Structure 1
């Protein structure tokens, strides 16, 4: 899996958009594409049952079905990009755990999620959210109703943390390769200036807070822009909770991609997935890449 775009498939109708997005990303970055589907028979095949029956037929059937699924997926990806380096992998066991294990050394893991508007995509299924929380490389979450397009606008959340710096680096390098524009969003919600809670837009205190957050954003963004000259990058400071302003900005700009860090300045260090990144993944309704 070293340097590969790894896409997790499960045989559902969501596989098409997920596979197409992953194939396009592999082609754009000249990376190998690795197709993965996990076999998790659960109670269908326990060690005792296998020994008692003496028959591997169920295992053979599951394995054959998985390889047929990936074979058809590989054909679809090659029709889209005929020169892709494509290989398949069929691990056994819980899907999320298998994908996390295979993510070691990968360039990107791509997983599917329910279509936008379905109960606000609260749980993201049983696989996507655990993979986002535990994978060892960046993860792209692709909604089932994603229409694959060329990248025109990328929105990235910035809070001054190391994780957000990595997110900006990925967003700007992606934009440089694709010709997209990047909007970096810094959100603030509740602030105290000169001992007073800031509530009045346009006031001197409000302006001072926004200036402070703008400086925080530029501190992260400007060094990245210097390394990638020629990319259209802007920094916006917006009032509201970070997850909300990121999702709203993405909707207003009809962004094709949202990039966030896995854990920002807030939250407990023990959390593998911060509250902001989780809310953005759940509610943005478009492709979101979470960067470690």
Structure 2
């Protein structure tokens, strides 16, 4: 089986670096286009908190800037292997955003690390990888 468009979710964590390495390797072997996508989660706060809109905006700008740096790093890793990749920063819930991007861009394989930067809280709420495996229209490769 050959894949023409490979999407990798990247957040700068060690598992996502392993996923990127595998996606680059597959892209090179299959001569596939590579899409590297980072997702910034929406600002979350408790109902009792009062957060000024300026603080939320500053948080979101900082998170987007951080994700852009991660994607720049990922792009360099791909280039070192001779792969030109497309990058994109999205905002929302990671699994949903990755699935939407894959559908909209004709990606036929989604590659992710077995866990990202979310930690224990994300384990309780459900993982991005788990949701992709359950709900994505594409094949999903979870890299350990």
TM-score, normalised with respect to structure 2: 0.80
Query: In the TM superposition, what are the counterparts of 1:146-225 in structure 2 within 5 Å?
Result: 150-191=2-43, 196-198=55-57, 207-219=61-73, 221-225=74-78
Runs of 4+ in 1 over 3 A off after TM superposition: 191-195, 204-209
Partner deviation per Cα, 1:137-170 (whole Å, 9 max, x = no partner)? xxxxxxxxxxxxx321011111111000011111
Which residues of structure 2 form unaligned runs of 5+? 44-50
RMSD: 2.6
Question: Which secondary structure state, in structure 2, belongs to the residue aligned with residue 280 of structure 1?
Answer: helix
| Greater radius of gyration (CA) | 1
**Residue correspondences, number:** 134
**Aligned counterparts of 2:52 and 2:112: Cα–Cα separation in 1:** 28
- Tell whether 2:110 aligns with 1:251: no
Measured against aligned partners, the alpha-carbon deviations of 1:28-86 in whole angstroms (never above 9, x if no partner) come to xxxxxxxxxxxxxxxxxxxxxxxxxxxxxxxxxxxxxxxxxxxxxxxxxxxxxxxxxxx
Aligned equivalents of 1:235, 1:259: Cα separation in 2: 14
Q: Report if aligned partners of 2:75, 2:87 keep a CA contact under 8 Å in 1.
A: no
Long gaps (5+) in structure 1: 1-23, 25-149, 199-203
Give the Cα separation in 2 of the matches to 1:226 and 1:181.
13
Bigger relative contact order (CA 8 A; separation at least 6): 2
Instruction: Please identify which structure carries the higher helix content.
Output: 2
Shift of 1:193: 9.9
Matches within 5 A, 1:37-56: none
Correspondence 1:227 to 2:86: no
